[in-house]
Structure 1
């Protein structure tokens, strides 16, 4: 493993060689043994494991031997979630360690949507405030998502929607009162809600999260009950580089899969001519399923699956 920095809480632990500093011993079958280095700051173990899996893509599992780690509360919490002292890459990234608040749950009852004439599970209530936070060592920024607040975001959102580059795809330009009303409507819907994406707590983009069955996309493919979809835009020019797109797209996908463990598929329906976006989708695990027509645009159905996201793509 090459030089790396493990960052937690805005502070870095510089390693001449990560394996040496953390007493990381390589084993068979692309696994490693991480020895207990001593008393740890809160959250350190989560961030260390996360960044080691990123730094060494060939690493499939890290063993935290129970005999060494049994006095460390962070390790015990991991063992409880994993039911093991072996931290497998796929299982680790599916733990709700990066959710900013406990998941909202629903009753599990089925409901009939008379307007759309579909039968689907009752949905949990919309979340509030920040929903996800994770440091991404590849862009050296902390990525977070929070529910949009018209009082905080309407002016910025108006500027974004009136950017010609954004308006070309969203076709939703308009003054402040129009955009404020739009955000307020998104906050009252039953099947969707709006998020603001931030790097180091600086807003850069807007995202609408929805249940695919109840959205317009649900009429165009055989949805599964917990498919989630997203609409997206990046409003700030400085965050439009490919490395930032990969960071927030994977992070947003990660959030949606953590938020609802029953979700097996994520979908998008961008305009069929949005070639710039398509270049970014495949590296994040999204594949084109088909092209189809909405009344107002020719679109592609693009989909990512849980298993391939965690086993082949990763964070």
Structure 2
């Protein structure tokens, strides 16, 4: 028996006729794909969690190096920085307690001293502005990384008609997460604590917490926007997919949306508006976590 040559076009045709095959191929050959991308292509391949951690470490190391550089520049003028405060706080406090005294002399020495004081004051003001802007940028990157990681960890429901189309499903989830991130940024204000931790405040300036413990971005979203997420235990297979058969949260569960529930009740031959229908409808809505208007 002669060997049958398998071409790329043949594989593409097989995937086109069976979309689930693509996912199976990716799962089977994932180690080979990773080796090819990192070894042959010299690309960096990492999980979102590892990428976020590496990115945050780079931000922290860069910030530390930047502050140490300015500390070296200011130390000969202001003295050694004590342990604890950062360069910006140290320089600001030092200039408040050790004011530079201008010379009253009109002679050459007095004029030179005053010129040096003016120049140093201008440089310090530039330094403070530069550090403030860089610290804001670093904090913004830190918050963005935190919120992005939180949103990416959440489970958003996928419409049934997109469940078997991996590209369409990925595009849908990308849009959902972008919208969720924009919503979060518009509703909650981040603030950095003394220990470097980030907390989030509501529109009234209250820190969002549970029994005194600040909530993470993921916990806030799950608490305040659970209607946008798939029920606990439900995978991103698409509403109305095989996952419905495996849903074990409640025997009354009939779908993730009100339309799904109504369609399911119709399949069960319950007369719309009857007492039996109303009872099943209420239980199904409760099981899906959907409030009844």
* Fold match (TM-score > 0.5): no
User: Bigger radius of gyration, 1 or 2?
Assistant: 2
The TM-score bracket by the shorter chain reads: under 0.3
Structure 1 or 2: larger strand share? 1
Output the TM-score relative to the length of structure 1: 0.25
Structure 1 or 2: larger helix share? 2
Output the TM-score relative to the length of structure 2: 0.26
